[in-house]
A and B are shown apart, each in its own frame.
Chain A
Amino acid sequence: MDAGNVQLQLPTSNIQFLNMNIRRPATREAIEGYIGISPWLIGFLVFTLGPMIASFYFGFTNWRITTDAQWIGLDNYIEMFTRDRDFFQALRVTFTYVIIALPLNLVAGLALSLLLNHPLPGIGIFRTIFYLPTVLSGVAVALMWMWLLNPDYGVINSLLGAVGIPGPKWFFDPDTALLSIVLMNLWRVGGSAIIYLAGLQNIPPHLYEAAEMDGAGVWSKLWNVTIPMLTPTLFFQLVMEAIDAFQVFTAAYIITDGGPMRSTLFYMLYMFRTAFTDFEMGYASALAWILGIIIMIFTALVFKSSPLWVYYESEAKR
């Protein structure tokens, strides 16, 4: 519509210079293209870019939801890094979780995908079974694990007791609470296994045949063929899982409420409390940006390191 109006007001030669003539198929296509992507573009500006800029600004204010935001410069960040013990605890918990859960998920997912790649009759049934936990999430699963890991009546400790191992107190012990959440989320490893599996099935069989000709054994094939060929998939999955791992919330909120003794005070839970229990929106915005920056640095490092370990077949051909 705009382009049509422009055409009425300006001499024709100018319009062609501006490349705005609506009758030209290319211009028409461009306008249709912009109309087509407009839902996303508007959504991006209103629900992503706008809020990101806003939260950057709010990070420098004292703002309780009921009052107007008041500029206080770097005070939120100074408070955070000099006095806020919960902030450091939240960082420690979240980083510990990421450092344990990420490699564990990677190795377990890879191992499971290798098993699921075996040509067996009925292998599809196993794939369906192991993927199942991925479609269940949220509160129901958290409640389920609260009961399964109940120190006195839970099935895990009953089974451990049956073979003579005294079960830990799981969510109730500061030493094992975080580990329990790691285990609980490891239950959903089938989700990444399915993605690795797709990667495995894309590896050309002739590579294995060539390796066998050269006398490669099972481990050698795994290390020299499977893993290098799978690195693009691993790379993708590592980035996506890390972003998730930094944002654990429901399990901590439902099961432990950050306890015992703040041992599961995940960053997201701390931020949620600051924003929606204490209504310190300015401070919470500053917290959000710090975690955002940490995730961005992590992602950037993974991307930067990728030429060292991610193998793209097209590069080798060059």
Chain B
Amino acid sequence: MTTLTASQPRARAFSSHALVRRANSIAVFLILLFLAVVVIGIPVGWVLLTSFKDAKQIFAWPPNIFPDPIRWDNYTGVIESLPFIRFAANTLFIAIFNIIGRVVSCSIVAFAFARLRFPGRDFLFMVLLSTMMIPHQVTLIPTFALFQKLGWVGTYLPLIVPAFFGAAFFIFLMRQSIMTLPRGLDEAARIDGATTWDIFVRIIMPLCIPPMVLITVLTFLWKWNDFLNPLIYLSNYDDYTIQLGLNMLKGRFNIQWGMIMAGSLLAMSPCVIIYFLTQKYLIGGIANVGIKG
């Protein structure tokens, strides 16, 4: 405040600038807070509140915001009426095999693209990048026919086996990480007599933990949330994934919104927990793709 009253014009200009900055910061903070409350807080909060209400409270007029009394019936109801735990276990089973398949295959392929020289490498890498832009549905039907011929429809194999053949996006991501590692590491190891496999396993892989975590988390999230593929390939009720189970929930309790919301929240909770635990890797890793890409 003293600088404001001071007579030097330069000091006054500086402090008014600082004041504008501070006002800007407050405005940005308030806008973000407002958006967070309206866009995220109200929908999530409302769903959460609904899951603790019984039908009478949900359809009450005028509407009650808070459940009174709090009912856990929706949660127990969902778990009793659908084999929810089983569906979750099925989905986890699929996700774990996808994670193993992708981490292993993408690491090897990315290492070969990043570190080994072979004729046609750059062309093949361009092919790999362009496959990221091929719409999934063009290959959907023949792939289904292929699995049908193999007798795999109705099993988990169509949902798991492709993961062992890499995924363009993750190979790209992993290659970008490996490219940032100094080549001197490899060369020093080579002089000491290390084979390519040694370099891959002992030197490169230990330095690629962040992209591996990213592949693990994203694969888990995508497989947990995948609906179309299980819908096409699974027919046996006992084999259903969590998303197919939720779809049944909708059909079964068409008006029981409390139960549907409880089921949805249960289904989303693993994603939320994993997200909060790994968000540093996730947000940082995702953001890098856009920059380097």
Interface residues of A (CB under 8 A from B): 26, 29-37, 39-44, 46-48, 50-52, 54-55, 58, 65, 112, 115-116, 118-120, 126-133, 135-141, 143-144, 147-148, 150, 153, 155, 158-159, 187, 191, 194-199, 202, 233, 236-237, 239, 243, 246-247, 249-250, 253-254, 268, 271-272, 275-276, 281, 284-285, 288-289, 291-292, 295-296, 299
Question: With A132-B272, A138-B227, A236-B293 known to touch, is A144 a contact of B139 (CB < 8 Å)?
Answer: no
State A202–B42 Cα separation when bound (angstroms).
33
Could you tell me the distance in whole angstroms from the C-beta of A304 to the nearest C-beta in chain B?
14
Whether the Cβ atoms of B138 and A47 lie closer than 8 Å is no
State A36–B195 Cα separation when bound (angstroms).
14
Q: Closest 5 CB pairs between A and B?
A: A43-B165, A36-B112, A198-B287, A33-B118, A33-B116
Contacts of B142 in A (CB 8 A): 50-52, 54-55, 58, 285
Select one of A143, A268, A272, A289 contacting B250, CB under 8 A: A143
A-B contact pairs, 15 of them (CB 8 A): A29-B196, A43-B165, A55-B138, A55-B141, A139-B243, A140-B243, A144-B43, A148-B47, A198-B287, A198-B288, A247-B137, A288-B137, A292-B137, A296-B133, A299-B133
B133-156: contact bitstring with A at CB < 8 Å (1 yes, 0 no)?
Answer: 111111111111110100000000
Majority DSSP secondary structure for residues of B touching A: helix
Whether the Cβ atoms of A158 and B279 lie closer than 8 Å is no
State which size class the interface on B falls in. 35 or more
Whether the Cβ atoms of A37 and B124 lie closer than 8 Å is yes
Whether the Cβ atoms of A65 and B272 lie closer than 8 Å is no
Question: With A51-B143, A136-B268 known to touch, is A127 a contact of B283 (CB < 8 Å)?
Answer: yes
Whether the Cβ atoms of A32 and B141 lie closer than 8 Å is no
State A268–B288 Cα separation when bound (angstroms).
30
Contacts of B283 in A (CB 8 A): 127-128, 131, 194
Whether the Cβ atoms of B227 and A36 lie closer than 8 Å is no
Q: Residue of B at shortest CB range from A27?
A: B118
Whether the Cβ atoms of A187 and B137 lie closer than 8 Å is no
Q: Residue of B at shortest CB range from A249?
A: B228
State A48–B171 Cα separation when bound (angstroms).
16
Most buried by B among A31, A135, A144, A281: A135
Select one of A39, A115, A155, A284 contacting B31, CB under 8 A: A115
State A27–B47 Cα separation when bound (angstroms).
61
Q: Residue of A at shortest CB range from B224?
A: A138
Select one of A44, A147, A196 contacting B260, CB under 8 A: A147
Contacts of B247 in A (CB 8 A): 139, 254
One of B3-11, B32-40, B71-79, B206-214 contacting the partner: B32-40
Question: With A51-B143, A128-B279 known to touch, is A120 a contact of B39 (CB < 8 Å)?
Answer: no
Contacts of A43 in B (CB 8 A): 105, 162, 164-166
Most buried by A among B137, B227, B246: B137
1-58 of chain B: CB within 8 A of chain A = 24-25, 28-29, 31-32, 35-36, 39-40, 42-43, 46-47, 50, 58
Contacts of B249 in A (CB 8 A): 143
Whether the Cβ atoms of B135 and A291 lie closer than 8 Å is yes
